Amino acid sequence: MLNRKEILETIDMVEKEHFDVRTITMGISLIPCIRDDAKKTATLCYDRICKKAENIVKVAEDLGAEYGIPIINKRVSITPASLLTSSFCGKEIILAKALDDAAKTIGIDFLGGYSALVQKGMTSYEKSFIESIPEALSLTDRMCSSVNVGSSKSGINMDAVRLMGEIIKKTADKTKERDGFGCAKLVVFCNAVEDNPFMAGAFHGVGEGETVINVGVSGPGVVHHALKSMQGASIDQIAETIKKTAFKITRAGQLIAEEASKRLNAEFGIVDLSLAPTPVMGDSVAHILEEIGLDSVGGHGTTAALAMLNDAVKKGGVMASSNVGGLSGAFIPVSEDIGMINAAKSGAITLSKLEAMTCVCSVGIDMVAVPGNTPATTISGMIADEAAIGMINNKTTAVRVIPVPGKDVGDSVEFGGLLGSAPIMAVSPYGCDKFIGRGGRMPAPIHSNKN
Which residue number, 67 or 435, has a Cβ lying nearer to other proteins? Answer: 67
- CA nearest to 85, candidates 145, 153, 154: 145
Least CB distance from residue 24 to other proteins, whole Å? 15
Enumerate the H helices of 204-274 as residue ranges: 220-228, 235-263
Which residue number, 8 or 31, has a Cβ lying nearer to other proteins? Answer: 8
Q: Which residues contact 12 (CB under 8 A, 6 or more apart)?
A: 225
Q: Are 433 and 440 in contact (CB under 8 A)?
A: no
Q: Which residues contact 45 (CB under 8 A, 6 or more apart)?
A: 30, 33, 78, 84, 95, 98, 99, 102
How many CA within 13 A on the CB side of residue 6?
Answer: 5
Least CB distance from residue 63 to other proteins, whole Å? 9
The secondary element (H helix, E strand) that includes residue 361 is none
Which residue number, 252 or 360, has a Cβ lying nearer to other proteins? Answer: 252
- CA nearest to 168, candidates 177, 181, 155, 152: 181
Least CB distance from residue 132 to other proteins, whole Å? 43
Which residue number, 69 or 160, has a Cβ lying nearer to other proteins? Answer: 69
Q: Are 109 and 143 in contact (CB under 8 A)?
A: no
Which residue number, 42 or 213, has a Cβ lying nearer to other proteins? Answer: 213
In our burial notation (b when 16+ CB lie closer than 10 A, e otherwise), range 339-378 reads bbbbbbeeebbebebbbebbbbbbbbbbbbbbbbebbbbb
Residue ranges in contact with other proteins by CB under 8 A: 1-4, 6-11, 62, 65-69, 248-249, 251-252, 254-255
End-to-end Cα separation, the chain, in angstroms: 53
Least CB distance from residue 117 to other proteins, whole Å? 35
Least CB distance from residue 414 to other proteins, whole Å? 34
> What's the Cα-to-Cα distance from 85 to each of 241, 297, 447, rounded to whole Å?
48, 43, 35
Least CB distance from residue 248 to other proteins, whole Å? 5
Least CB distance from residue 309 to other proteins, whole Å? 20
Which residue number, 14 or 84, has a Cβ lying nearer to other proteins? Answer: 14
Residue type, 84: L
Least CB distance from residue 62 to other proteins, whole Å? 6
Classify residue 283 by its DSSP letter: -
Q: Which residues contact 169 (CB under 8 A, 6 or more apart)?
A: 376, 379, 403
Cα 265 to the center of its chain, rounded Å: 26
The burial class, CB within 10 Å (0-12 / 13-18 / 19+), for 393 is: middle
Which residue number, 4 or 450, has a Cβ lying nearer to other proteins? Answer: 4
Which residue number, 4 or 434, has a Cβ lying nearer to other proteins? Answer: 4
Which residue number, 15 or 295, has a Cβ lying nearer to other proteins? Answer: 15
Least CB distance from residue 15 to other proteins, whole Å? 8
Residue type, 48: R
Least CB distance from residue 4 to other proteins, whole Å? 6
- CA nearest to 404, candidates 331, 342, 299, 334: 334
Which residue number, 206 or 319, has a Cβ lying nearer to other proteins? Answer: 319
